[in-house]
Amino acid sequence: MIDYTFRYDPSNGPSSPQPGTAEEARQTLMAGNRSFSEWMKSCRAADGEHKQFVTNASGLSSILSSEAHEFPTQKPFAVVVGCSDARVPTEMLFGQGFNDLFVVRNAGNVLGEVAMGSIDFTLLALRDSVRVIVSLGHTNCGAVKGAVKAYLNPGSFWSTDYSPELRAIFQEIFVAVRESDNMLREVWGPSAATMPGYEDALIECAVCLNAAHTALAIQQEVEETGHKGIDVLYGVYDVRVHQVCMPTLPYERSNADHVNLAHAPRRPEELAALAREIVTAFKPGNAAAPTGAVACGPHR
């Protein structure tokens, strides 16, 4: 038997307060993901034991304290800009419950006008509670894979299978794909595209850089609007080992120490350094190159 439980017990006194600082919020999200990923790992074990994951639904206190005819106050401590992929249940993977997260989702976690407008809303209306904004990508992202396919075969970009709206999403991701490809050719050599594992490495690196680019754009928006006390973070959720990390590197097994939400880059050089680290790890012949499942990289 496997249970995922939201627990709220008002008889035990006041609920746990939400994080008061950006770093507390970051640590709360990472701790929630460590617990969730460990629970998912235990669920794979065929030992017949009852597997239970309990989420402290402390956000219910502000909802249930209102009268039935009143509107409860919205007070999330984190904003998450993520992909619409059904394998990435945002509240669950961070171990959060009611009224904890303000979630913005679209295919490829790209930062178009609607997504940025949603973030601007939180900066305006929810600034008293929001402590962090997270750009969250995920491995095996269909939108990134589609953008990589169109990049490698430009003719396919105009396929009738792709609507103008879908092409617009690919175009948002192309910068990350091109930057990843440039770094692959720099680190692997001019013949990188003919080497085994090239396309997989290109996708993996583009997923990370896409999340990083989004985080950088959000960071600039936060700075321009003059909001203090809000950190911008980014990470990638591995849909196989259920861990959020940055960077993603080829490891055989998951490890709780790999869970990491990185702070948003502030300079292009940081993006280049991230790309270099990822493609170097994936280079054929590297001792750390993937031979099986791809899991999260080390904590940084």
Q: What is the pLDDT of residue 41?
A: 85
Q: Which CA distances in Å does 265 have to 15, 213, 248, 273?
A: 35, 8, 16, 10
Q: What is the pLDDT of residue 289?
A: 54
Q: What is the pLDDT of residue 257?
A: 84
Instruction: Name the nearest CA neighbour of 138 among 168, 108, 102.
Output: 108
Exposed/middle/buried for residue 285 (C-beta within 10 Å: 0-12, 13-18, 19+): exposed
DSSP secondary-structure letter at 67? -
Query: Which residue reads 């038997």 in tokens?
Result: 1
Q: Which domains does the chain have, with CATH numbers?
A: 2-282 (3.40.1050.10)
Single-letter residue type at 102? F
Q: What is the pLDDT of residue 46?
A: 64
CA distance 262 to 238: 15
Q: Which CA distances in Å does 43 have to 1, 53, 85, 207, 242?
A: 9, 10, 22, 27, 12
Let me know the angle formed at the C-alpha of 239 by 212 and 54, rounded to the nearest 5 degrees.
105
Q: What is the pLDDT of residue 132?
A: 98
pTM of the model: 0.89
Q: What is the pLDDT of residue 299?
A: 40
Q: Which residues of the chain have pLDDT under 70?
A: 1, 8, 11-16, 46-48, 57-67, 250-253, 287-300
